[in-house]
Amino acid sequence: MTVRRVPWAADVEAVFARLAARRHAVWLDSAGGPAALARWSVLAAEPAAVIGHEGGVGRIVRPDGGRTGEPARNPFDLLRTVLANLGRPDDDAAAHLPYGPGLYGYLSYDLAPYVEPKAGLSARRDIPLPDLWFGLYETVLLLDHARGEAFLVGSDGPAAEAILDALAARAAHPDGQHSTAGQAGRGTRDADLVCNFTRQEYEAAVARVREYIAAGDIFQVNLSRRFTVAAPPGDVARQPADLYVRLRRANPAPYAAYLGLGEGRAVLSSSPELFLDLRGGRIITRPIKGTRPLRPGDEAFNARMRDDLLASAKDRAELVMIVDLERNDLGRVAEYGTVRVTEPRTLEGYAAVYHTVATVEGRLHEGRDTTDLLKATFPGGSITGAPKVRAMQIIAELEPTCRSVYTGAVGYLGPPTPSEPAGRCTLNVAIRTLIAAGREVHVQVGGGIVADSVPEAEFNETTDKARAMLAALGLVV
């Protein structure tokens, strides 16, 4: 593996526009947020293989369409096998870089029964995406936003050629005029929008969760609704790469991502939430609970919102509840006594909202690996509820459709090395995430339901969240 310094991509959107035309382009995009979180971005294309799990069967597919190895039934066993086969010697040149060649993709929420068989899933599965999708990228473009440095990391071949071609095109067109990314498309009509819950159905589901809480069955459940926008021919929603650029401009986030799955399918995320980071055996997770609006330029309003959020006993209690859950999950695979809460509650500002966030850390037990960590913690507690397994059962009972990628995880899985035998990973919680599937775009939004939740208010909150996501993209709801 080689590390080569390359010209800084001052207009990364233009580089992406060129790269997005290549097979299975991906972009882990630190588009915005606190500087300490939004330092590194990764772009790649032309994977050497695609690892997928669908219909209960996992497969590895080469670029020519050929399949490698025997089908695997368990997706986590498949990931472990692939990562073990990618294991490589330590490389001093790449040791200081947090990302490199490896697996980039997603785990959908619908993998939950492979972690906890009692969890269950909603009866209707209607989004035609695999439950798991990762590309094996042998070369990546790594951007260090703090230093303004760019590196080509990996080996020569089609992937390196694709990246160098994108960088050369940017140099030839420094104003980015060759790119159509981010240009406005016409909005959709009201008739093009459908939801998997009516108002009456969602409010009844919230009321049912409150009954479970009153009975002592559960403390909190994250209940969501999904909006589907039908995209007429020529609409911006038919162009996932352009749609992603609009999303990152409207809602920049430190754990944003674009995954080009091919055939008009893509995952577009503007998530602010870190699910897992594993480096050198150190595990970090940063659950979010508590949100208030932010208005750029209106400091009086913003000060009121910050004070209101920090003073909210309800939001504080929800975060404490999820922190306890995350501590328990990490404790399954961490060395005894290493799990600790390093930040109980801190306020962070993003493009349009404030959040309260906690940080929980631990050290992975010797002999455990990335796959063990995933099986101990997936899906994240902040988007399920507490107790976690019972919350997932109630989600399966009350939500009419499977979640697919929404509230799963998007990011990077790195292979083991002698100095890091467990491997590496950085994964977001796939909230504020759009799924482009052919002529439809799906937007799912939810919130934590607790004892004092008001069904009408919870419905209105999900509507506002969906409207804001789509309106920021020029899609009228």
Torsion 93-95-4-413 (CA) sign = positive
Q: Which residues contact 321 (CB under 8 A, 6 or more apart)?
A: 219, 220, 289, 386
User: Closest Cα partner for 407 from 373, 376, 377, 384?
Assistant: 384
User: Closest Cα partner for 468 from 314, 317, 324, 352?
Assistant: 352
> Within a 10 A sphere around the Cβ of 40, how many other Cβ atoms?
18
| DSSP 8-state symbol, 124 | B
| DSSP 8-state symbol, 435 | E
Whole-angstrom distance, CA of residue 406 vs CA of residue 109: 7
User: Closest Cα partner for 316 from 213, 216, 448, 225?
Assistant: 448
CA geometry: angle 281, 44, 256, nearest 5 deg: 65
Identified catalytic residue from 289, 375, 388, 465: 289
Cα 145 to Cα 31, 38, 39, 233, distances in angstroms: 10, 8, 5, 37
User: Closest Cα partner for 258 from 17, 1, 7, 6?
Assistant: 17
Residue 335 designated active-site: no
Identified catalytic residue from 273, 318, 326, 420: 273
Q: For 50-114, give the DSSP string.
A: EEEEETTEEEEE-TTS-EEEEEES-HHHHHHHHHHHH-----TTTTT-S--SEEEEEE-GGGHHH
Token pair 């994964």: residue: 427
Whole-angstrom distance, CA of residue 34 vs CA of residue 184: 28
Instruction: Kindly report the backbone phi and psi dihedral angles of residue 14, in degrees, each rounded to the nearest multiple of 5, phi listed first.
Output: -70, -40
Whole-angstrom distance, CA of residue 122 vs CA of residue 145: 41
Torsion 356-329-408-153 (CA) sign = positive
Q: Which residues contact 344 (CB under 8 A, 6 or more apart)?
A: 320, 323, 358
Whether residue 293 is preceded by a cis peptide bond, meaning omega within 30 degrees of 0, is no
Task: Kindly give the residue spans of alpha helices, DSSP state H, lying in 173-232.
Answer: 199-214
For residue 429, give the amino acid letter: V
Residue 289 designated active-site: yes
Burial of 172 (0-12, 13-18, 19+ CB in 10 A): exposed
Whole-angstrom distance, CA of residue 378 vs CA of residue 330: 10
List, by residue number, the catalytic residues.
273, 289
